[in-house]
Amino acid sequence: MFIVTGGAGFVGSNLVRELNRRGHTDILVVDNLTRGEKARNLADLTLSDYMDKREFRARLNAGTLDLRPEAVFHNGACSDTMESDGCYMMANNYGDSKALLHWCLARKAPLVYASSAATYGASADFEPVPKNEAPLNVYGYSKLAFDQHVRSLLPAIQSPVVGLRYFNVFGPREHHKGRMMSVLHQLLRQLIETGACRLFQGTDGFGDGEQQRDFVFVGDIVAINLHFGSAGMAKAIVNAGTGRARSFNDIARALIAHLGQGRIEYIPFPDDLRGKYQSFTQADVRSLREAGYRAAFTEMEAGIAATLADL
């Protein structure tokens, strides 16, 4: 069997869908459906069980989760980069992850977990080493704190543990994420509702709409997860990105070209984001390749077309 935490979320539900496509249905999904619209992401999937994340954590703590999974894919987290409650963020992203890690280690169950490029903050170097890590918010710190805990254990760990630092993931099944939807879906909604994509004016030395991110298609993120879930004795923290930065203008132009209509408008950069915003990210993929993942990445335009075809 497989365990997928955050299985009703964006990456998690795409992962369950691909497991189903490969013939796997013995899947325990762990999530929190307080926001009931996330259930839409599960409705077309086949799983053997669902467990609320609070029950899951309680059973981890009590030692009553008697399962022997083939692999655990840990995508459950608070992903709101604007959340300021550090206690809440650390309980979700550090405490829950730590409990699951030690449960997996006790059973020698492979663990592949979601870290984040937010661990790098405003760094211009994205090699996954401590000197480059300077998160700009408590979300980024919560992810870094868990990575640091994993690093402290890696030399002695006797089972596969791989942390994936997700860059800017986009694709289908994001409808529930609200303001935390990928730039692609935010711009698509703007185009449909107003006929225009609104991008930030220049900041941090970048021109209007020329801020750049490493946009990675969710299908590639799923493939990386599944690779390391069955890759033998992998122990690493690696970047999960394409290694190629693209501008927000590039996404807007691709959407406008695909829809055959629309325009770009530039709006002032928000004061409350100054000093907290990553104007540039680009994964250093050497760590990923050295850990054994060799597949090519989906071109952004092809990923956009696949996403729109799946809506």
State which amino acid sits at residue 272: D
Query: Distance (Å, rounded) from C-alpha 24 to C-alpha 17?
Result: 9
Homologous superfamily in CATH for domain 175-212+245-273: UDP-galactose 4-epimerase, domain 1 (3.90.25.10)
Enumerate the β-bridge partners of residue 29.
Answer: 4, 50
Report the predicted TM-score, pTM, of the whole model to 2 decimal places.
Answer: 0.96
pLDDT score at 70 = 97
Please give the pLDDT value at position 175.
78
Question: What is the CA 20 to chain-centroid distance, rounded?
Answer: 20
- pLDDT score of 176 more than 90: no
Domain at 2-170+216-243+283-298, CATH from 3.40.50.720, 3.30.70.20, 3.40.1350.10, 3.10.20.30 = 3.40.50.720
Give me the catalytic one of 94, 120, 139, 166: 139
- For the chain, percent helix, then strand, then coil, each to nearest 5? 45, 20, 40
| Distance, CA of 229 to CA of 46 (rounded, Å) | 19
Mean pLDDT for the chain? 95
Residues of the chain with CATH 3.90.25.10: 175-212+245-273
Mean local confidence (pLDDT), 1-6: 98
Question: Looking at 83-97, 111-125, 178-192, which range is the least confident one?
Answer: 178-192
The model's pLDDT over 221-280, given as tens digits with 9 standing for 90+, comes to: 999 999 999 988 999 999 999 999 999 999 999 999 989 999 999 999 998 888 778 899
Active site includes 94?
no
Q: Which of 177, 235, 266, 276 is catalytic?
A: 177
**Average pLDDT, integer, range 185-192:** 93
- Catalytic-residue membership of 177: yes
Q: Distance between CA atoms of 30 and 8, rounded to whole angstroms? A: 8
Q: Where are the domain boundaries for CATH 3.40.50.720 in the chain?
A: 2-170+216-243+283-298
Amino acid (1-letter code) at residue 5: T
